Amino acid sequence: MKKVLLVVCLFLVSISNCYALDINSKNAVLYNMNEDTLIFEKNKDANTSIASLTKIMTVLVALEENEDYNKQASISNMMISNLVGTGAATAGISIYEKLTINDLLYITFLPSAADAAQILAFNTTNSLNIFVDLMNKKATELGMTNTHFTNVTGLDESGQKSTLTDMAILLKYALKNEKFKEIFEATSYTSSNGKHKVSSSMRETADYYKVDLKGVTGGKTGYTINAGRCLASTAYDEENDISYLLITTNASTDTKYNHLKDAHDIYNYYFTNYKYHNLVDKGDLLIKIPTKYAKVLYVEFKAKEDVKAYLENTFSKEKVKLKYEGTNLILTNMEKGTKLGTISVILDDKVMDTIDIVLEEKLDFSILRFIHENKGYITFGAIVIGFFAITIVAIKKKKNKE
C-alpha cells in the first residue's frame, strides 16, 4: 500500500480554525510536527519583533561554530559594556569568573541573559559584528527570507525583524541539533564554577503564576516593549502521540503570563479536540474484483495497514468514501505484482490518501469454469462439427457406391 497523508487535510484544519481560538498574542503559528504541517496561524507572515527569541539563533550559531563546549571563555568589560542602561536582563557575570562555552550556552538560553549572549558571541568570533553576520548568513541558508538580525540579544533595534514563518523554520532546524534540544528542554542548570544556578524563564513564570503547561517539553521566552510577550515552545500529546511546535509574539504586557496562557489554551484545545483518526482500518475490505476463467470467481483486496488522518474528534468514519479506478476484470494471464488500479480515500470530497491495488498471486486457469461459462458456444460448435462430420461421411459413402 502506498500511504500518503496529504497536506490538504492539515491545511483545511488550519483554515477552519485560524481564529477559532481567542488568544492574546497578535502573531501565532502552531505545527503538527508528526507531519511538519501548519495547523493554526495568526498573522504568520507579518513582520514582528521577536525579542529574546533571537537567542535561538545566537545559541545555534555558537553551537555550530564551537567545537569544544568545555573550553574556558575569556571575559572582559568590553564585551558587555554596551548593555548598560538598556534594561536587558543579565546574569551578573563578573570578569573574574571562569566559565566554559557550555556554561554560556545555558545561561544565555534559560534565564535569557544578555551578558552571557554577548560574551558567548565574542568568544566564538572575537566580534559582535562578525557573529551577527554569521546569524544572518545562517538565516539566508535556511530560507528565512524575511528575517534580519542586528544584535545577539534581541533588544529592539532598527533593522532587526522576522516573521513567525521564519522563526518556525529556525526552531525546527535548531531542534535537530541534539545539544540545542538538550538546552531547549532543560529546566535548570548550574554553571561549572557553581556561581550561577539558572532556571528556564518559561518554567519559573509558569510556576509563579500557576499556569499549567502540561505537555510542554521546552521553550524560550522573550520580552521587549515592541515585541510584547513572546514564546517559542514545543509540546507532546502523550495520549495521542502527537508532537507540536508553537511560536507566539506580541502578547500584551498587562500581565507577565499572557504568552504562557496562550500556549496553555492552544495546546489544550488541540490536545482535547484533535487526534489521528482511522479513515481505513487494517483489514477493511477495499474492493472485490471479478476474474475470468480462474478457479476463484473474484479476488478480495483488503487494507494492509491503517490509513490515518489528523482530524477533529467530531470525525465519523461513515463519511469516508472509497473510489476505485482501474481494471474491472482479472485475467489468468496477469502476473503476480500487476498493479490493477488505485483506491482513493475520500472525505468531504477531498482525496485524503491513495492505495495501490496490486495482484498478489497469479490466478490458476480453470478448464471446468471455461467450459461452464462457454457451454452455449461449445454446444453450438459441437453441432456444427457433427453436421460437417455427417456430411463428410455421407459424401464418402456416395462416392464408394459410384
Report the C-alpha gap between 320 and 352 in whole angstroms: 10
- The model's pLDDT over 29-57, given as tens digits with 9 standing for 90+, comes to 999 999 999 999 999 999 999 999 999 99
Tell me how far CA of residue 240 lies from CA of 5, 38, 39, 235, 263, in angstroms: 17, 18, 16, 12, 18
Residue of 221, 231, 223 lying closest to 254 (CA atoms)? 223
Written as nine digits, the cell of 360 is 498478489
Q: Which helix (H) or strand (E) holds 269?
A: helix 258-273
What pLDDT does 261 receive? 97
Backbone φ and ψ for 232, nearest 5 degrees, come out as -115, 125
Per-residue pLDDT band for 389 (boundaries 50, 70, 90) equals low
What phi, psi does 49 have (nearest 5°)? Answer: -75, 145
Orientation angle between helical segments 128-142 and 54-65, nearest 10 degrees: 100
- Reduce the DSSP state of residue 76 to 3 states and report it: coil
pLDDT of 378 > 70? The answer is no
**Cα–Cα–Cα angle for 18, 259, 101, rounded to 5 degrees:** 120
pLDDT of residue 11: 43
Distance between CA 255 and CA 229 in Å, rounded? 9
Q: Could you tell me the pLDDT band of residue 2, with boundaries at 50, 70 and 90?
A: very low
Domain at 7-276, CATH homologous superfamily: DD-peptidase/beta-lactamase superfamily (3.40.710.10)
More confident call, 295 vs 190: 190
CATH architecture under which domain 279-358 falls: Sandwich (2.60)
For the stretch 156-179, pLDDT in tens is: 999 999 999 999 999 999 999 999
- Name the DSSP class of 43: S
Global pTM? 0.85
> Coil, strand or helix: which one is 112?
coil
pLDDT number for residue 368: 86
Question: Using one digit for the tens of pLDDT, what is the confidence trace for 211-240?
Answer: 999 999 999 999 999 999 999 999 999 999
Domain boundaries of the chain, sorted by first residue: 7-276, 279-358, 368-401
Q: Grid coordinates representing 394? A: 455421407
